[in-house]
Amino acid sequence: MIKQKPMVIGHRGAAGEAPENTLASFALAAEQGADGIELDVHLTKDGEIVVCHDYTLDRTTNGSGLIVAQNLADIRELDAGSWFADSFRGQRVPLLSEVFDLLPKGFFINVEVKHAYEGRMEQALLAFLRDRGRLEDVVISSFDHKCMRRMKQAEPAAKVGLLYASNLVDHAAYAQQTGVDVFSLHPHYHYIDKEDVDGAAAAGMAVYPYTVNREEDFQRMTDIGVSGIITDYPGRLRKFLG
Ligand code: G3P
Ligand code: MG
């Protein structure tokens, strides 16, 4: 049997080489031949979905404080690039809609929900994906598995994934006991082996380990047959896979 190459999924874009979760980072991932990207989302005070990893603006912008305590207009004033390198000065905290506008339709997008915001994120994100007609090709994932279950129950057409960093005794069985149809497993790459991947495949689930940056780990993930690899260096992974 010919083994399929895993998809190249740029973590926060191409976070190793550009300021994470900015349009520059997503554009670079695409340029480097990624098949898709992973990004993280939060809600602003006025209910807009923005792309940022942390709950606060301190680490990746020249602002500070909780995202959810600030309105979009104020967050948009901030510089989200110069903390990484001066050449990226002027990058902004993107709206989720801007990322979708930037990338072509067939490009795989994995939206990681960092917080449910008492259900407001679920509603906002599902409404956004419905409006865009993207429910069926975007994978929503989270460490908050109850949130993923609620999203799937609210919108059966949504594709949801479980993110985790534990070496579960039976990865596929864990997903199945949520009682909803889980599209994908997103394990930490340390805690996944061939048996886990085979178990997921037999149960009809994709496996997207994170965050894999070294060549020896690209090799191991490829050998065990994962569906896609989430990496800070999509260019390196693309070169490795050939
Ligand atoms: O979605 C994979 C990975 O991004 C999960 O961890 O902290 O990098 O968002 P984190
Ligand atoms: Mg993430």
pLDDT in tens, 128-181: 999 999 998 999 999 999 999 999 999 999 999 999 999 999 999 999 999 999
Domains and CATH numbers, the chain: 7-54+94-241 (3.20.20.190)
CB atoms within 10 A of CB 78: 17
The residue type at 101: D
Question: What whole-number distance in Å separates Cα of residue 5 and Cα of residue 109?
Answer: 18
**Are 19 and 83 in contact, with CB atoms under 8 Å apart?**
yes
Whether the per-residue pLDDT at 185 is higher than 60: the answer is yes
Cβ 115 under 6 angstroms from ligand 1: no
Active site residues: 11, 53
In a mutational test of the pocket of ligand 1, which residue from 53, 143, 232 has the highest number of ligand atoms less than 8 Å from its CB?
A: 53
Q: What confidence tier does 52 reach under pLDDT thresholds 50, 70, 90? A: very high
Cβ 144 under 6 angstroms from ligand 1: no
- What is residue 142's predicted lDDT score, i.e. its pLDDT? 98
Whether the per-residue pLDDT at 4 is higher than 90: the answer is no
Taking the centre of ligand 2 as the mean of its atom positions, its distance from the CA of residue 242, in whole angstroms, is 26
Give, using CA atoms, the residue closest to atom 3 of ligand 1: 210
Cβ 226 under 6 angstroms from ligand 1: no
Q: What confidence tier does 1 reach under pLDDT thresholds 50, 70, 90? A: low
Q: Counting Cβ atoms within 10 Å, is residue 180 exposed (0-12), middle (13-18) or buried (19+)? A: middle
Ligand 1 nearest atom to the CA of residue 40, by list position? 9
Considering every ligand atom shown, identify the ligand nearest to the alpha carbon of residue 210 and give its number: 1
**Tokens, residue 168:** 């579960």
Give, using CA atoms, the residue closest to atom 7 of ligand 1: 53
Whether the per-residue pLDDT at 83 is higher than 60: the answer is yes
